[in-house]
Amino acid sequence: LDLCAAPGGKSTHARSVLPVGSLLVANEVMRNRSQVLAENLIKWGNAEVVVTNNDPADFTSLTEVFDVVLADVPCSGEGMFRKEPAALAQHCEALVKQCAELGADILDSAAAALAPGGELVYSTCTIDPAENQQQIAAFLQRHPEFAVCAPEVPLPAGMTAGEHGCLSVPTRTGMDGFFLCVLQKAAATQ
C-alpha cells in the first residue's frame, strides 16, 4: 500500500521490485492528483496495481492486510527550499504543526493496515524534527509494537542515521533535504 502515492514515482518503483503476483494499492487523497497517479501507472504498464482515491483513515478498516505500507506524507517542504521558492514562501510554524498532525494521523492509519511482521516506510521532504524524528518518537510511544529498522544499505555521504530514522540535510549531502524511517511491526504471537 502506497498511502500518499501521487504522482507515482515511488509506486512505479515499488511495483518494479515487488514479486510477480503481488498487488500494489496506490492511493492518493486528492482527486486531481489521483488522476495523474493513474495516468503515470498506466504509462508504466503493470496491471497488478489498483489506484484509489481515499483518505488514509479509510484503510484502517482493512486491519493488518498489507505486508508493506509506504507513507511519503505531505510536509512543510523545508528540504525543497533551494529549488522551490514557493516552499520557502509558504513556510511557517503553523504549517509545520499542521503537517506534523497530518503525518501522525497517516502513520496511525498505516499502522492499522500493516500486517504483523510487515514494514512501514515513512518519509518526508523536510528536515524539521517535529515532522521527522519527533514524529517517529511519538509514534513509537503510541505503537510499542513497532521498532525502527537500521539501514541495510550504506547511506549517501553526509546523510545521518539516528535512533528515529535517516536524514539528508542539503548542506551536508548536496542532495535535497529529506527524512526516511523504516519501522517493522512485531510478528503475531502464537
Torsion of CA 89, 79, 40, 47, to 10 degrees: -140
What is the chain's Cα-based Rg?
16
Asked if 100 and 131 touch (Cβ cutoff 8 Å), the reply is yes
Residue listed under C-alpha cell 498532525: 101
Burial class (CB in 10 A: 0-12, 13-18, 19+), 141: exposed
Distance of CA 44 to the CA centre of its chain: 21
End-to-end CA distance of the chain: 26
Asked if 188 and 117 touch (Cβ cutoff 8 Å), the reply is yes
Catalytic one of 75, 99, 125, 166: 125
- What is the length of the chain? 190
Distance of CA 61 to the CA centre of its chain: 19
Q: Is 75 a catalytic residue?
A: no
Residue listed under C-alpha cell 504549517: 95
Q: Looking at the annotation, which residues are catalytic?
A: 125
